[in-house]
A and B are shown apart, each in its own frame.
Chain A
Amino acid sequence: GESVGLHLPTLSVQEGDNSIINCAYSNSASDYFIWYKQESGKGPQFIIDIRSNMDKRQGQRVTVLLNKTVKHLSLQIAATQPGDSAVYFCAERGTGRRALTFGSGTRLQVQP
């Protein structure tokens, strides 16, 4: 069945460094991928998304890379700031489905 998994449950980085959060997915028919940031007590906040016909998409300080060959998704955060500390979720949507399938999350800790 579908599953979305994360390589590391916790990632600790120094302020100003770049962060890379990885995600593996198993559904080769997934056509849409998305990253969310969730702070304590809040709902997930949209960061960036990418469709399966793309390999890379950039936003403000964030880049998402999609490798369909190995079913791997990554989120890169440039010049990580203390405000980036949160849990990050990747999610995918399979073709024909409208709901998202979420991974279990990676906690990003930014050390000052």
Chain B
Amino acid sequence: GAGVSQSPSNKVTEKGKDVELRCDPISGHTALYWYRQSLGQGLEFLIYFQGNSAPDKSGLPSDRFSAERTGGSVSTLTIQRTQQEDSAVYLCASSFDQYHQPQHFGDGTRLSIL
């Protein structure tokens, strides 16, 4: 597609459940990033993928968070045993490669934990 696509756009789940968020980057972009945005706040880096290199996981807040990127394209962010503090908008971005910015963002998944 023309832009970064994320699904679902909204997700409501109960505390303790696992959730999977999907990101489909811009075609041809080798770098993919996940960020989290809490209400009224800036974006917080979570994880970064570049090609076949090992991902930079330095921003993941706990071991309940994980992400994978299959075939160098689509990425899935998984949150296990969700907590109320996980409620936020999860944004995905992609760029041509790690050297060429800017990062282009999707519209995010709004996650609400009841």
Binding site for B on A (CB under 8 A): 4, 32, 34, 36, 41-46, 49, 89, 91, 93, 98-105
Contacts and interface: CB of A to CB of B under 8 A. Distances in A.
5 contacts: A43-B106, A44-B91, A49-B101, A89-B42, A99-B33
- What range describes how many residues of B lie at the interface? 20 to 34
B91 A43 contact: yes
Contacts, number: 55
A49 B100 CA distance: 11
B43 A42 contact: no
B111 interface: no
Given A45-B105, A46-B103, A49-B102, 20 more contacts: A32-B101, A34-B101, A36-B105, A43-B105, A43-B106, A44-B91, A44-B105, A46-B102, A89-B42, A89-B43, A98-B56, A99-B33, A99-B45, A99-B48, A100-B33, A100-B43, A102-B42, A104-B41, A104-B42, A105-B40
Query: Which DSSP category, helix, strand, loop or mixed, fits chain A's interface?
Result: strand
B101 A103 contact: no
Contacts of B83: none
Q: Report which residue of B40, B45, B103, B104 has the largest number of chain A beta carbons within 10 angstroms of its beta carbon.
A: B103
Contacts of B106: 43
Interface of B: 4, 31, 33, 35, 40-45, 48, 50, 56, 59, 91, 93, 98, 101-108
